[in-house]
Amino acid sequence: MSDRTAVVPSEERRAPPAVAAPPPPDRFLGISITPLTRRRINAFKRNRRGYWSAWVFAALFLISLFAEFLANDKPLIVSYNDELLFPILKTYPETHFGGFFETAAEFRDPYVQELIEDAGGWMLWPLIRFSFNTINYQMTVPAPAPPSGENWIGTDDQARDVAARTLYGFRISVLFGFVFVILTSIIGVIVGASQGYFGGWYDLLFQRFMEIWGSVPTLYLIIILASVITPSFWSLMFIMLLFGWMGLVDLVRAEFLRGRNIEYVSAARALGVSDAKIMFRHILPNAMVATITFMPFILAGSVTLLTGLDFLGFGLPAGSPSLGEMLNQGKANLQAPWLGLTAFFTLGTMLVLLVFAGEAVRDAFDPRKTQS
Amino acid sequence: MTLAAEAGAAGPKPPAHPQASAEALVDVRDLSVSFRMTGNIVEAVRGVSFHIEPGETVALVGESGSGKSVSALSILQLLPYPKAFHRTGSVRVRGKEMIGASESLLRSIRGNKISMIFQEPMTSLNPLHTVQRQVAETLFLHRKMNREQARARVLELLSMVGIKEPEKRLDSFPHQLSGGQRQRVMIAMALANEPELLIADEPTTAVDVTIQAQILDLLQDLQRRLGMAMLIITHELGIVRKLADRIYVMHEGKFVEQGDAGKIFSAPEHPYTQLLIGSEPKRRRYSPPAGTPVLLETKDLRVHFPIKAGLFRRTIDHIRAVDGVDFTLHEGHTLGIVGESGSGKTTLGLAILRLMRSTGSIRYQGRELQGLGFKDIRPLRKQMQIVFQDPFGSLSPRLSMAQVVEEGLVVHHPQISEAERREQVAQVLTEVGMDPSTMHRYPHEFSGGQRQRVSIARALVLRPRLIVLDEPTSALDRRVQVQILELLSDLRERHGLTYIFISHDLKVVRSIADHVMVMRDGKVVEQGDADEVLESPQTEYTRALVKAAFELTADASGAVSQ
């Protein structure tokens, strides 16, 4: 006998007579949740390391979403002739400040700064006065420049600020990872669910197709495709999805194969509930357990893959802020260790946080830890 | 407390407390067991004292959750420590204290002086080891035998537990054995070192009645021959009556009554014991209405699963799960389908509701069901419902009770408003004896019996005419079983329902069905009026089944499998 049965209330110890109205729904972040979800959230919180990792990661990601307001080569607010201007949101020509050119004002240019100051105006700058592609022309040492008061962790070999590039690079890596995870999960769940639920020839043939498709050497194919298609965020996403969607199919398929024989699924069929509704309402929640458990790890994997492609030079278009490119620069400029170390620590922290958070998610969905 | 002081103090005690003799094999005093759960502590056993003398058979009887298994596991200190802990108590085996004993002392007792057999023979045997290896393991461990000696001893043990042709079975793997054979191998493993005490934890719960009778005979015989003591843990009073000398009745972690088996059965004192003993399914009092029209009729119903082999997966043979079943069921009657596991009775139930593909004819109210598409059969679904065995698997853990029960209404009566739907759900929950104010709770908050009531409510809410009940009471304690059976016959009378009642338990079937069909290997062995079939069975097989179920004795004629 397990300890579980030891606490099941016996028949005559009925649940105490409760209120007639539905009890106030348990809410988490404003969404009403089932007791099962509540137990999972509690299990998630019990893994302290993972719980805090998830919060730290969320905080870092949230900060990086506002990268434009933290690291930019334009001031946040400019006061010019008693007029408040927001250069990050709107582009102003230099002529606006009494300059010569019709082009956008270069606020880092001492000439423009002088124009504004002469008119009695002021500028409020972001924390870091560089964007990811801003070239620092006022350096006194050759690029890559070591850390200084101006460039906190130095510049790369094109005189761009490493701190700004890290911030933007982190954001694009995580965004890429999130989009990748969501798309692979949607495709994986749909394909896996239909295979598992309907089975038969459809399942058999699709499984063989996946075996062949999955044995294609992905990396080389991506490299070949990347040299044909102009690399961009979405084209890279498409290429990686071509081979990445299979990761979840087998898991979801197995859940559906098992799920269609669970008694409450049979009971639903006996009630005349349609296939689509059975799949969605009765089996999918089970399959989502496997899916959600794997998500943080897929996210970590896709970040690594993107970094790898960038490192090899087949990734995001040239000039994009990318951790892989920074690593490559670090390799080429061993005399400038701040390049390699920054990229390494950023990647390392991100992956460690993701894996710890993933472990907590796995705990949350572990039936041995959520049964009570 | 010191051992010597305790051993010497085996003197005066309250008279109602039968006393352990000086040479007691096992002496448990004031034992309590608690479990640390998340956030709180659950007391599973609260201060029980019992003793086992050499050569006697003692039974711990109680319902699931009463703490009987936990008490027995404490003897060998097999609980998940430190999650489990003993607040008070001492457990002494031949005078040696077990609580807090060293691992090496415990190992010298476990599987040697005291051994155990468990409920589930499939999971208690290692699927990757042969019979010989499993049984010989303890011989190598405790007796330091060499291979030749061990092999001879294994053969001896296997023939002792009644395995035919033991030489052939030495190299079999567990999956190649039948349920009964696996249970016998388990017993052989337990007996390997001639233990002084054999603890049997629900030894026959997971096997068929015929096997149950054989195993009980075997245990009784072995106990007499080897002169060992036995501790039987069970919720089944029939087993206790047959085997035990002394009984401890356990309820919510405490002993409510103890004494000689004969006395407890003839004059139970505690109300709980009386309740347990009274909880046998009663004989049916209900007689079905006469002259009602035929509701359901099958002709030559077959379910065959193809066995495929070879490169092109050609069908080489079929498993005949249901092989030509004919029956006629009149409205308001109850058909009981009985048989051992694997006889095809559940498959038949699913095939009747077209939840499983079959051939042959199924006529419901004269209308042929075979060949109807999903859309055509949908309106008929609300007239035919099913209730499953497993109260844990048949309710989705993510849906509240109200959501579970109303699902059928949403499908078949999408036009009715939510308030009206909730009204109907509340009404049907009241009917099955549940408090409708609990309808927003989730399955994990309910006991097995309550969950089964919800399953019945789910079937009932559509006001069906036919309900297939697939072992609806098998996973429940006897007392809860009787309650569910009463509920079912109540509902039958109130709504004029027609049941197909599938069960391996003949006692249960006798209490509810008026017509019985005995199945074996997919075929109908015998069918007819319930009283006639069960009182004077016409075939060998039915006779053996009846004898095993009602008298707990094995049939020697060989009509049933081993």
CB B482 within 8 A of CB B279: yes
Q: How far is A258 from chain B (nearest CA, A)?
A: 12
Which residue out of B116, B352, B406, B407 would a mutagenesis test of the A interface target, given it has the greatest number of A Cβ atoms within 10 Å?
B407
| Smallest Cα distance from A104 to chain B, Å | 57
Length of chain A: 372
Helix axes B448-460, B418-431, angle to 10 degrees: 130
When pLDDT is cut at 50, 70 and 90, the band that residue A320 belongs to is confident
Radius of gyration of chain A (CA): 27
Q: What is the maximum span of chain B, computed from C-alpha positions, in angstroms?
A: 80
| CB contact B334 to A (< 8 Å) | no
Closest residue in B to A22 (Cα–Cα): B440
| Residue A145 DSSP class | P
CB B79 within 8 A of CB B73: yes
Q: Which of residues 381-400 of B touch A (CB under 8 A)?
A: 381-382, 384-386, 388-390, 393-398, 400
Which of B83, B355, B444 is the closest to A269 by Cβ? B355
- B contacts of A6 (beta carbons < 8 Å): 35, 42, 44, 65, 67, 70
Judge whether A59 is closer than 8 Å to chain B, CB to CB. no
- Average pLDDT estimate for B242-270: 89
Which DSSP string corresponds to A41-84? Answer: HHHHHHSHHHHHHHHHHHHHHHHHHTHHHHB-SS-SEEEETTEE
Q: How near does any CA of chain B get to the CA of A188, in Å?
A: 23
CB-based contact, A9 to chain B, within 8 Å: yes
Helix (H, G, I), strand (E, B) or coil at B254: strand
Mean pLDDT along residues B242-248: 89
In the block, tokens 């005399």 appear at A335
Q: What mean pLDDT, rounded, does chain B reach?
A: 84
Q: What is the pLDDT of residue B248?
A: 92
Query: Which residues pair with residue B538 across a beta bridge?
Result: none
Average pLDDT over residues B36-57: 86
Which has more pLDDT, B437 or A356?
A: A356
Q: Is A261 an 8 Å CB contact of chain B? A: no
Check CB contact under 8 Å for B450 and A285: no
**Segment B381-389 mean pLDDT:** 88
pLDDT at A95 (0 to 100): 83
d(CA B115, CA B146): 22
Instruction: Judge: A267–B458 Cβ closer than 8 Å, yes or no.
Output: yes
**Cis status of the peptide bond prior to B174, with omega within 30 of 0:** no
Percent of chain A with pLDDT over 70: 91
Asked if A282's CB is within 8 angstroms of B385's CB, the reply is no
Between the alpha carbon of residue A193 and those of residues A127, A211, B79, B381, the distances in Å are 49, 17, 40, 25
**B529: three-class secondary structure by DSSP:** strand
| B381: nearest CB among A11, A14, A272 | A272
Helical spans, DSSP H, in B161-281:
166-169, 179-191, 209-226, 237-243, 261-266, 271-278
Measure CB to CB from residue B437 to each of A19, A35, A262 and give the nearest one. A19
Closest residue to A36, CB basis, from B398, B407, B462: B398
**H or E, element range at A257:** helix A249-259
A81 C-beta neighbours (distance < 10 Å), count: 12
Query: Of the candidates A188, A198, A190, A201, which has an alpha carbon nearest to the alpha carbon of residue A259?
Result: A198
Please tell me the predicted confidence (pLDDT) of residue B426: 92
A332/chain B closest Cα distance in angstroms: 54
Annotate A73-113 with three-state secondary structure.
CCCCEEEECCEEECCCCCCCEHHHHCCCCCCECCCCCHHHH
B432 touches chain A (CB under 8 A): no
B433 in contact with chain A, both atoms CB, cutoff 8 A: no
Which pLDDT band holds residue A58 (cuts at 50, 70, 90)? Answer: very high
Q: Which residues contact B73 (CB under 8 A, 6 or more apart)?
A: B79
| Residues B364, B370, B374, B375, Cα dihedral to 10° | -60
| More confident position, A257 or B316 | A257
Residue A113 makes CB contacts below 8 A (sequence gap 6+) with A107, A123
Percent of chain B with pLDDT over 90: 17
Name the strands in the sheet holding B498-503, side by side, starting at the edge strand that comes first in the sequence: B384-387, B466-470, B498-503, B334-338, B515-520, B523-529
A3: its two tokens: 């300890």
Whether A269 contacts chain B with CB within 8 A:
yes
pLDDT, tens only, B19-31: 666 678 899 999 9
Mean pLDDT of B163-180: 83
Most confident of A54-58, B19-23, B82-86: A54-58
Is B355 within 8 Å of chain A by CB? yes
Which among A6, A19, A34 is the nearest to B65, CB-wise?
A6
pLDDT tens profile B53-75: 998 999 999 888 788 888 888 89
Chain centroid to Cα A269, Å, comes to 39
- How big is the A-B interface in CB pairs under 8 Å? 125
Angle at A257 between CA A252 and CA A260, to 5 degrees: 115
A271 contacts on B by Cβ (under 8 Å): 381-382, 385, 407-408, 411-412, 458, 462
What's the pLDDT score for residue A231?
80
Of A317-326, B257-266, B304-313, which gets the smallest average pLDDT?
B304-313
Q: Which residue of A has its CA nearest to B69?
A: A1
Whether omega for the bond prior to residue B80 falls within 30 degrees of 0, making it cis, is: no
Measured distance CA(B229)–CA(B56) in Å, rounded: 5
Residue B164 banded pLDDT, cuts 50, 70, 90: confident
> Which tokens in the block code for residue B209?
């009645």
B173 at the A interface (CB within 8 A)? no
Distance of CA A230 to the CA centre of its chain: 23
pTM: 0.75
pLDDT band at B137 (very low <50, low <70, confident <90, very high): confident
What's the distance, CA A263 to chain centroid?
Answer: 38
Write down the pLDDT at residue B22. 66
Beta carbons of A3 and B444 less than 8 Å apart: no
| Cβ within 8 Å, pair B435-A10 | no
Across the interface, whether the CB atoms of A285 and B398 are under 8 A apart is answered yes
Give contacts of A42 with chain B, Cβ < 8 Å: 38
Q: Do A15 and B384 touch (CB under 8 A)?
A: no
* Per-residue confidence band for A4, with pLDDT thresholds at 50, 70 and 90: very low
- CA distances (Å), origin B103, targets A165, B76, B77, B88: 60, 11, 10, 20
CB contact under 8 A, B449 and A1: no
What is the Cα–Cα distance from B443 to B401, expressed in whole angstroms? 7
Instruction: Tell me how far apart the alpha carbons of residues B319 and B331 are, in angstroms, rounded to a whole number.
Output: 32
Contact A15 B438 (CB under 8 A): yes
Closest residue in A to B272 (Cα) is A12
Candidates A40, A264, A266, A275: best to mutate against B (most CBs of B within 10 A) is: A264
Burial of B212 (0-12, 13-18, 19+ CB in 10 A): buried
Which residues share a beta bridge with A160?
A: A135
Note whether B336 and B549 are within 8 A (CB): no
Look at residue B363 and give its three-state secondary structure: strand
DSSP line for B272-332 = HHHHHHH-SPPPP---PPTTPPEEEEEEEEEEEEEEEETTTTEEEEEEEEEEEEEEEEETT
Of the candidates B396, B437, B458, the beta carbon closest to that of A282 is on: B396
Measure the CA dihedral A207/A209/A212/A216, to 10°. -110
Q: Which residue has the tokens 């050609």?
A: B314
> In degrees rounded to 5, what are phi and psi of residue B52?
-130, 125
Q: Of B460, B410, B407, B408, whose CA–CA distance to B433 is shortest?
A: B460
Express each pLDDT in B487-525 by its tens digit: 998 899 889 899 999 998 888 898 899 999 999 888 999
Token digits of residue A319? 């000039």
Nearest residue of B to residue A201, measured between CA atoms: B313
Q: Chain A interface, mutation test: which of B437, B455, B482, most A Cβ atoms within 10 Å?
A: B437
Of A7, A267, A272, the CB nearest to B394: A267
Please give the full DSSP string across A191-243, using - where no structure is assigned. Answer: HHHHHHHH-HHHHHHHHHHHHHHHTS-HHHHHHHHHHHSPP-HHHHHHHHHHH
Q: Which residue of B has its CA nearest to A277?
A: B411
Do B411 and A263 count as a contact with CB atoms less than 8 A apart? no
Element (H, E) at B494: helix B478-495
User: Taking CA B428 as the corner, what is the angle to CA B414 and CA A36, rounded to the nearest 5 degrees?
Assistant: 80
Residue B524 DSSP one-character state = E
pLDDT of A263 higher than 60:
yes
Beta bridge partners of B33: B45
Residue B30 DSSP SS3: strand
Count of residues in chain B? 562
Which chain A residue shows the shortest CA-CA distance from B67?
Answer: A6
